[in-house]
Amino acid sequence: WSSEELTRHFLERIKRLDGNYNSFITVTEEVAMAQAKAADARLGQGDTNPLCGVPIAHKDIFCTKGIRTSCGSKMLDNFIAPYDATVVENYQAAGAVMLGKTNMDEFAMGSSNETSFYGPVKNPWNVNCVPGGSSGGSAAAVAARLAPAATATDTGGSIRQPAALCGLTGLKPTYGRVSRWGMIAFASSLDQAGPLTRTAEDAALMMNAMASFDAKDSTNIDRDVPDYRANLNDSLEGLTLGVPKEYFGEGLDAGTQQAVEAAIKQYQAMGAKVKEISLPHSALAVPAYYVIAPAECSANLSRFDGVRYGYRCENPTDLSDLYKRSRGEAFGEEVQRRILIGTYCLSAGYYDAYYRKAQKVRRLIKQDFVEAFKEVDLVVGPTSPSPAFAFGAKGADPIAMYLEDIYTIATNLAGLPGMSIPCGLVDSKPVGLQLIGNYFEEARMLNAAHKFQ
């Protein structure tokens, strides 16, 4: 197939089927066809990049020049980005074709895609259920075969949890591996971009293009990008997997536990050794995250003031009224809740009690993993406590929703890479197995994921 044929095929599928899922906010048909034509020309001249001509979708958190970049919010409904995110540029350089921008929880805050200004995304496995979040649009698009692969971001689980709930492979790289330039900031010390794909092999291909050194992101690390495909078929003989006992406690659905345990047995059959480990501060990850992430978001989102860009209220009476009404009218409930929590935690008098304490807990959580990786090569466990749940099931109770990320959040706090791969079905719904690697050990996770698939 030529890239033009392939791109037309996916654009037609989106047109015909996305009414059922709502996975795209913007479909960039004209851009896609022009890029496909250019990719065909490159292929004709002997371009060998495996992504050249391949259509992909971008989460609507990545700035795309000349194209609306909404971040799932009314605040940016009218925002046309003046530049491309580095991630977007990297895929363009590889010759990939952009099909459009995918739906997401507002400003990436959520685990169900119910907080998007553009309406909820439906899980292609069961349209009465959520696809997970915040990268639910990217996950649903790939799961419904509306795109072969998509970009996503993960601050506390937003790549891995939707991957688990939609039966996909999702990889959150080591903090600093992928540039955050042009990726709308939620919690800058936790945010990291990564791919959502069907297989580990596709994830490796996507990582080859996505990872780069970028001086425009001061937390990006100047380190060679390996060929992530190189070790996919390595033997797992002698690989040591650590199973944290804290990840199999209260709150874990029985069917999910069974599927995860069966997957661990399968790894043993492939020659891996399994060791029970302890990550003693696991229970503190969610509370620490819900201080640190809101604190950072309250600072990051202060730029949306109704003055420079984004939503502006009608007929403000003075500057204060402009700020209050623009932000009050355009931010949804969850975003406002986070800004309030974050502002509170950072205010004088509370800073030491909450923010500083959370930072100390963050260090303890990181230290748990540093100790664990002295003994094991990968940590394995469930990605999320249960399979996809029904719309509205957790939306009314923020705490229930926050617990969706109980197994994924520690990885972000520690800056480690994490991955979710499909490991079975419970009640016809996919279950995810999480693999956590040591810093910059993405290739090892991909190897373990590929051999499993």
The distance of closest approach from Cβ of residue 380 to ligand GLN in the complex, given in angstroms and rounded to an integer, is 20
Does 405 help bind ligand GLN (rule: CB under 6 A)?
yes
- Using the rule CB under 6 A, is 158 a contact of ligand GLN? yes
The first and second tokens of residue 346, run together, are 């950072």
Q: Residue 102 Cβ, how far from ligand GLN at the closest point, in Å?
A: 14
Residue 135 C-beta: closest distance to ligand GLN, Å? 8
- Residue 368 or residue 405: which is nearer to ligand GLN going by CB? 405
Q: Which x/- pattern over 62-101 shows residues binding ligand GLN (rule: CB under 6 A)?
A: ----------------------------------------
The nearest distance, CB 126 to ligand GLN, in angstroms, is 20
Nearest residue (CB) to ligand GLN, 146 versus 193: 193
Using rule CB under 6 A, residue 154 touches ligand GLN: yes
Q: Which stretch binds ligand GLN (CB under 6 A): 89-97, 148-156, 324-332, 418-426?
A: 148-156
Output 80 or 390, the one with its CB closest to ligand GLN.
390
Catalytic residue among 134, 298, 326, 420: 134
CB of 305 to ligand GLN, least distance (A): 23
From the list 52-60, 72-80, 151-159, 249-257, the region that binds ligand GLN by CB under 6 A is 151-159
Any catalytic annotation for residue 59? yes
Residue among 23, 59, 112, 326 flagged as catalytic: 59
Q: Is 285 in the site for ligand GLN (CB under 6 A)?
A: no
Residue 182 binds ligand GLN, judged by CB under 6 A: no
Closer residue to ligand GLN in complex, CB, 133/242: 133
Closest to ligand GLN by CB, 293 vs 376, is: 293
One residue of 291, 293, 301, 445 binding ligand GLN per CB under 6 A = 293
Q: What is the 3-state secondary structure (H, E, C) of the chain?
A: CCHHHHHHHHHHHHHHHHHHCCCEEEECHHHHHHHHHHHHHHHHCCCCCCCCCCEEEEECCECECCEECCCCCHHHCCCECCCCCHHHHHHHHHCCEEEEEECCCHHHCCCCCCCCCCCCCCECCECCECCCCCCHHHHHHHHCCCCCEEEEEECCCCCHHHHHHCCCEEEECCCCCCCCCCECCCCCCCCEEEEEECCHHHHHHHHHHHCCCCCCCCCCCCCCCCCCCCCCCCCCCCCEEEEEHHHHCCCCCHHHHHHHHHHHHHHHHCCCEEEEECCCCHHHHHHHHHHHHHHHHHHHHHHCCCCCCCCCCCCCCCHHHHHHHHHHHHCCHHHHHHHHHHHHHHCCCCHHHHHHHHHHHHHHHHHHHHHHCCCCCEEEEECCCCCCCECCCCCCCHHHHHHHHCCCHHHHHHCCCEEEEEEEEECCEEEEEEEEECCCCHHHHHHHHHHHC
Q: For ligand GLN, give the closer residue by CB, 18 or 154.
A: 154
User: Applying CB under 6 A, which of residues 55, 156, 173, 417 lies at the interface with ligand GLN?
Assistant: 156
CB of 10 to ligand GLN, least distance (A): 26
134 catalytic residue (yes or no): yes
Using Cβ positions, the residue closest to ligand GLN within the complex turns out to be 158
Residue 134 interacts with ligand GLN (CB under 6 A): yes or no: yes
> Comparing C-alpha atoms, which of 122, 125, 114, 105 is closest to residue 167?
125
Distances (CA, A) of 122 to 67, 163, 333, 444: 24, 14, 21, 32
Catalytic residues: 59, 134, 158
Q: Which residues contact ligand GLN by CB under 6 A?
A: 108-111, 134, 154-158, 186, 293, 405
